[in-house]
Amino acid sequence: MAANIFLHTDTALAQGLQALFKRLEARLGLSVPVKVFLAGGMAVHLYTAGRVTTDVDAEFGARLLLPNDLAVEIVLEDGTPQLVYLDTNYNPTFALMHEDYQNDAIPVELGLEWFHVYVLSPCDLAVSKIARFAESDREDIVALVRLGLTDADAIERRALSALSGYVGGQAMLLLNLRDALSLARAAEG
C-alpha cells in the first residue's frame, strides 16, 4: 500500500505546520538535527488534505523545552483564520503504538534545516487512534481506509502486535479495536 502514498504539503494547514517548525527551530537555536514524528489530526491532514486540526501532535527525538506560546496564524482555503500550535501535552505512550512505528514512519519534506519530520505510516496512524477512539478518531480511520492507504486486515495485524507494549487496561481497547475494524471493513466496500 505504500506505493500510492502522497503527502499534501501544499495546503494552508501544511504551510502553517512548516512555518511553526521554522519558528521553533529559530526559537530553540538548534545546531544538531532532531527527528520529529507527527501523529494525530495533522498527520491525517497530510495524507487526506481533508482533516482540519490546529494542534500539532509531535514526538521529538531529543529532549527539548517546548514553548507554550508558539503559534502561527494561517488562513484556510475557505477563508477561515486559524492558529496552528504544538500540543505540548502530547505523549505517544498513551496511544496504542507498535514498537516499530518510528522505523516505519514516512519522511515529510518541509524545507526545514534542523527538524527531520516524519509522519506515522497510515496503518500506524490508524492504530494510534484506537485507544482514545473519539468521533474524530473514527472518522480518521475511515478516511485513511477509503483512500486505500491502509485496510482492516493491516490495522488488525498491527494493533494485535502492538498490544504487548500497551500501557493500560486492554478490555476497552479490544472493544475499540473490534469497532475500528468494523468501520474499516465498511469503508473498504
Q: Which residues of the chain have pLDDT under 50?
A: 1-2
pLDDT at res. 179: 98
Query: Between β-strands 106-107 and 115-119, what pairing exists: parallel, antiparallel or unpaired?
Result: antiparallel
pLDDT at res. 3: 55
What's the pTM?
0.94
What is the torsional sign of CA 26, 17, 102, 2? Answer: negative
pLDDT at res. 6: 93
pLDDT at res. 155: 98
pLDDT at res. 169: 87
Would you give the distance in Å from CA 1 to the centre of its chain?
18
pLDDT (tens digit per residue) in 22-69: 999 999 999 999 999 999 999 999 999 988 888 999 999 999 999 999
pLDDT at res. 51: 82
pLDDT at res. 4: 66
**Calpha distance 11→13 (Å, rounded):** 5
The torsion of the CA quartet 96, 161, 153, 151, rounded to 10 degrees, works out to 40
pLDDT at res. 159: 98
pLDDT at res. 172: 94
